[in-house]
Structure 1
Amino acid sequence: MIILVLVVVTALAFDFTNGFHDTGNAMATSIATGALKPKIAVALSAVLNVVGAFLSIAVAAAIAKDLVDQSVVTLPLIFCGLVGGITWNLLTWLLGLPSSSSHALIGGLIGAVIAAVGMHGVLWTGVASKVVIPAVLSPVIAGSVAALGTWLVYRSTRRVSARNRQDGFRWGQVASASLVSLAHGTNDAQKTMGVIFLALIAHGSVKGSDDVPVWVILACGLAIGLGTYIGGWRVIRTLGKGLVEIESPQGMAAEAASAAVILASSHFGYSLSTTHVATGSILGSGVGKPGAAVRWGVAGRMVVAWLLTLPSAAVVGAVTYGVAHLIGGAAGVGVVFVGMLALAGFMAYRARATLVNADNVNEEWEGGVAPASASVHAGV
């Protein structure tokens, strides 16, 4: 029971990091264009994330049943997978890189399973169909939709002054950003629900055929909502200012494209990366606007982080499982838990060096310099 409690607490901690890491997916462009004030944006996003968590459990079922063999899952294994996801989330947050919380979590679980029982413990067909293929296709689809939408918007309003166009699309941007927040809660909160459900199955509290308990849905919704309200300002800055100098029409097109792709994936149970979708949409909005400048160097660094997410989180999951298994029992899990807290504390300390917050998140981007530079080093 002690290990189960630690697993649930760690899962909700991951959900919290998911919230502040992914706030920018919904609200970065609205903040960048001034459609919403920063603190209002994250508060609105937090509420809608909580609401979205109650709309579907298809992704939670995929996490719990389609990616790893339930018969080999143990509580220490799940715990170490979560540590892998949290570690990658905190590292990429510190560097200001919008990476996938979903892939970090799945990578951590896969690494822990492989360390525990070998490759056969992973359902590779499910990983390919539910994770890898959507990861490749989703940013391309979202980017294409956003590019077309942006081109149509500017084409149809070419006789409208730039100022009037900007003002006219701000309310539409608020609505589309709200829809992305709702979609994010529908997709991302479910991933932690699925992990806690796996833990309850391993503990014997529920059966694999049962529904996800209501208390799990509520706890995960509140955790991701609180994380969203805290606001991952570094990642918001990268998405809102680092990729494209964005205007309201672009922001609305990007957010509408993101919401459509995320909601469709939630309906079909795909464990989609909302970060990949949002980034693809923002890049598409830059491609679709005549004369817009896209910082492809920043985008390239983000893609590198995407490629490293699954294997890096898997390595952390595998190593921490090895440590926990070597020590054994609750003591092994406790040692890993303390190590995770120490690492999180160190990253939080480094983040205090130079803060990015609601007051400076919209400062002008310094050319192609990544936000991990000395001028904007770290912070929530």
Structure 2
Amino acid sequence: MDTFALVVTIAVALFFTYTNGFHDSANAIATSVSTRALTPKAALAMAAVMNLAGAFFGSGVAKTVSKGLIATPQGRSGMAILFAALAGAVAWNLVTWYFGLPSSSSHALFGGLVGAALAGGVTVHWNGVVDKVVAPMFLSPVAGLVVGYLLMLGILWFFRRSSPNRTKRGFRIAQTVSAAAMALGHGLQDAQKTMGVVVLALVINDPSKGFGIPVWVKLVCALMMSLGTYAGGWRIMRTLGRRIIEVDPPQGFAAETSSAAVLYVTAVFNAPVSTTHVITAAIMGSGATKRIKAVRWGVARSIVAGWFITMPAAALVAAGCYWLVRVAFA
């Protein structure tokens, strides 16, 4: 197999995980920054470190991505399919980042894989797509919404006789822990997705390699995501931290804690869920306890609409990229 094609594809995969880092860094720290629990630089540094740590916990999500969604493509055309999938995901990440829309990098990647596979005549494991991508795409935000709402209700009841100002000060401190837990979950989920793609590229190049994840793949993917996280995603951070609802420290703690719980549970079942979907829904759930109208549902509708178009849009871009690059890889 052409080593140049392998190197280029892995480079694009690492650039994707970099864009994933700055695109999704807001997931972990938007509420902490907006409530002034953490300064932006401190929050980004913490998120980068915890993303790095989370990448080394488990490998089930990576295996789902590498062999659970599409059949392993073969030869130079197979590398072209993988390259096109990544190009489609990167393009969608950059577009949504520019407009400050917290769409899912994960579903951009999944859409890219499916679109490029279909364009290249490679079998798509639709059962895997439905069970591991589509079903969690609906269930995980619902879980985030419900758990965030219930946790916030519990906080309101437990601290009902406490001084509001004292309670907020306490939760600002608690948010440093909940934001770290959320960042760890982001590394656990999203860094593994790129690991799965890099492993798939290695298998296409040399099928004898198998689907084990080399240590250098874990390290490089984790580092690139951490670098992207530290670069920051300020446009998306404003959307999550301010535009959906004015988040206070107890709400931020409830949203981050419930999101982290959902991410950990889904990782146990090797389900690659969207951290963006989960935290956005959790923010809505915790905010709705104040009053339903406190949530800016118009902004929320725009975000949810972005969720639904991400996979097909990335799939179309990836399919187009495949037709453009197949000659170069053929």
Calculate the TM-score normalised by the size of structure 1: 0.84
The 1:284/1:328 distance shift into structure 2, 3 A limit, reads: same
Partners in 1 of 2:137 and 2:277 — Cα distance? 7
Partners in 1 of 2:174 and 2:213 — Cα distance? 35
- Look up the match of 2:213: 212
Partners in 1 of 2:285 and 2:329 — Cα distance? 49
Contact 1:64 1:198 in 2 (8 A): yes
1:55 matches 2:57: yes
Partners in 1 of 2:205 and 2:267 — Cα distance? 27
Contact 1:31 1:37 in 2 (8 A): yes
Q: CA deviation at 1:287?
A: 1.1
Partners in 2 of 1:100 and 1:168 — Cα distance? 32
Partners in 2 of 1:81 and 1:329 — Cα distance? 14
- Look up the match of 1:329: 329
Partners in 2 of 1:156 and 1:219 — Cα distance? 44
Q: Which amino acid aligns with 1:22?
A: D
Deviations 1:98-129, CA, capped at 9 Å, x for gaps = 000000011111111000106xx100000000
1:199 matches 2:201: yes
Q: Which amino acid aligns with 2:228?
A: G
- Look up the match of 2:308: 307
The 1:155/1:292 distance shift into structure 2, 3 A limit, reads: farther
Please list every run of at least 4 consecutive aligned residues from structure 1 whose deviation after the TM superposition is greater than 6 angstroms.
none
Q: CA deviation at 1:71?
A: 4.5
Q: Which amino acid aligns with 1:271?
A: P
Q: CA deviation at 1:246?
A: 0.8
- Look up the match of 1:108: 112
Q: Which amino acid aligns with 1:329?
A: F
Higher relative contact order (CA 8 A, sep 6+): 2
- Look up the match of 2:24: 22
Q: CA deviation at 1:289?
A: 2.7
SS in 2 for 1:200: helix
Partners in 2 of 1:77 and 1:221 — Cα distance? 24
Contact 1:54 1:217 in 2 (8 A): yes
- Look up the match of 1:78: 82
SS in 2 for 1:91: helix
Partners in 1 of 2:106 and 2:287 — Cα distance? 26
Aligned positions of 1:212-231 closer than 5 A:
212-231=213-232
Deviations 1:69-93, CA, capped at 9 Å, x for gaps = 1145711110110000000000000
How many percent identity over aligned positions? 48
Q: CA deviation at 1:205?
A: 6.1
- Look up the match of 1:234: 235
Contact 1:177 1:255 in 2 (8 A): yes
- Look up the match of 2:174: 172
Q: CA deviation at 1:161?
A: 2.3
- Look up the match of 1:260: 261
Partners in 1 of 2:80 and 2:291 — Cα distance? 53
Q: CA deviation at 1:319?
A: 0.5
Contact 2:73 2:79 in 1 (8 A): no
Gaps of 5+ in 2: none
Aligned positions of 1:85-164 closer than 5 A:
85-117=89-121, 121-164=123-166
Q: Could you say what the CA RMSD is over the residues aligned between the two structures, in angstroms?
A: 1.3
Partners in 2 of 1:190 and 1:154 — Cα distance? 36
Partners in 2 of 1:98 and 1:281 — Cα distance? 14
Contact 2:116 2:315 in 1 (8 A): yes
Deviations 1:167-208, CA, capped at 9 Å, x for gaps = 011111110110010110011000000000000000006533
- Look up the match of 2:319: 318
1:269 matches 2:273: no
The 1:205/1:178 distance shift into structure 2, 3 A limit, reads: same
Partners in 2 of 1:191 and 1:206 — Cα distance? 21
Deviates more, 1:285-294 or 1:75-84: 285-294
Q: Which amino acid aligns with 1:100?
A: S
Q: CA deviation at 1:133?
A: 0.2
Q: Find 2:9's aligned residue among 7, 10, 13.
A: 7
Partners in 1 of 2:26 and 2:73 — Cα distance? 37
Say how many residue pairs are matched.
326
- Look up the match of 1:246: 247
Q: CA deviation at 1:47?
A: 0.5
Contact 1:245 1:292 in 2 (8 A): no
Calculate the TM-score normalised by the size of structure 2: 0.96
